[in-house]
């Protein structure tokens, strides 16, 4: 078959094809944007209406005078303030065993020793005759040790810790030779 179309017309036909392709592409994009616009328009109008309603309600509430509380409300508020002040003052004078102290005890514990109880007293006191002496904060540890040697090693490990000022292990804990239920007192710094 002989090609009867001149080269100049062939180039114009190819250029016309590309122009039609670009026009079709732009037409499809514009139709897509038009569909998108009409699908978003109701939501946009609804959000504007809701925003206007909320703003008018807010303006109305700002213009309303605040009602004065009655006597019963004032007494309830005063009672709550007194309770909060009481709790805050009690919390500031309270001794709390910190995680640091408990971790020090647990890290010094030997694997054979089982600790059953860790407790504290904020102001323990001893009576010597007619004299009462306030000793301060004490941490008490109770548990089980398999032997005297293990219990003594545990006490020495606690004494070597810098968090504790004093470690008291009563001699009565050493009465039994094995399976000892002990109680130990620590004085924190």
In a domain, 140, yes or no: yes
Distant-in-sequence, close-in-space partners of 77: CB < 8 Å, separation ≥ 6: 69
DSSP, collapsed to helix, strand or coil, labels residue 180 as: strand
In a domain, 148, yes or no: yes
Range of the domain at 144: 113-126+135-188
Provide the number of structural domains found in the chain.
1
Distant-in-sequence, close-in-space partners of 155: CB < 8 Å, separation ≥ 6: 167, 169, 184
In a domain, 77, yes or no: no
In a domain, 172, yes or no: yes
Q: Of 189, 168, 169, 165, give the one whose Cα is nearest residue 180.
A: 169
* Token pair recorded at residue 162: 């810098």
CB 167 within 8 A of CB 182: no
In a domain, 44, yes or no: no
Per-residue pLDDT of the chain (189 residues; tens, 9 = 90+): 677 888 899 999 999 999 999 999 999 999 999 999 999 999 999 999 999 999 999 999 988 887 788 889 889 999 999 989 888 876 665 555 667 778 888 888 888 899 898 887 766 455 555 554 445 678 888 999 999 888 889 889 888 888 888 888 888 888 888 888 998 888 887
Q: Please tell me the distance from the alpha carbon of residue 152 to that of residue 161, in angstroms, as a whole number.
A: 15
In a domain, 2, yes or no: no
* DSSP result, 77-142: HHHHHHHHHHHHHHHHT-----HHHHHHHHHH--TT-EEEEEEEEEEEEEEETTEEEEEEEEEEEE
In a domain, 42, yes or no: no
* Token pair recorded at residue 163: 């968090």
In a domain, 107, yes or no: no
DSSP class of residue 68 equals P
pLDDT tens-place string over residues 85-122:
888 876 665 555 667 778 888 888 888 899 898 887 76
pLDDT tens-place string over residues 33-50:
999 999 999 999 999 999
């Amino acid at each position: 078959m002989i090609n009867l179309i001149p080269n100049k017309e062939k180039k114009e036909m190819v250029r016309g094809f590309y122009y039609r392709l670009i026009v079709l592409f732009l037409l499809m994009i514009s139709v897509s944007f038009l569909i998108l616009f009409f699908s978003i328009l109701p939501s946009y109008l609804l959000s504007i209406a809701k925003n206007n309603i909320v703003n008018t309600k807010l303006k109305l509430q700002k213009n309303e005078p605040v009602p004065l509380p009655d006597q019963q409300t004032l007494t309830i508020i005063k009672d709550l303030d007194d309770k909060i002040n009481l709790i805050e003052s009690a919390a500031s004078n309270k001794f709390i065993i910190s995680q640091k102290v408990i971790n020090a005890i647990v890290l010094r514990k030997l694997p054979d020793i089982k600790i059953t109880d860790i407790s504290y007293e904020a102001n323990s006191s001893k009576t010597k005759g007619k004299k009462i002496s306030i000793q301060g904060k004490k941490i008490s540890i109770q548990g089980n040790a398999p032997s005297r040697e293990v219990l003594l090693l545990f006490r020495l490990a606690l004494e070597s810790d810098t968090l504790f000022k004093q470690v008291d292990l009563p001699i009565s804990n050493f009465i039994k030779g094995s399976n000892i239920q002990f109680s130990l007192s620590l004085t924190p710094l």
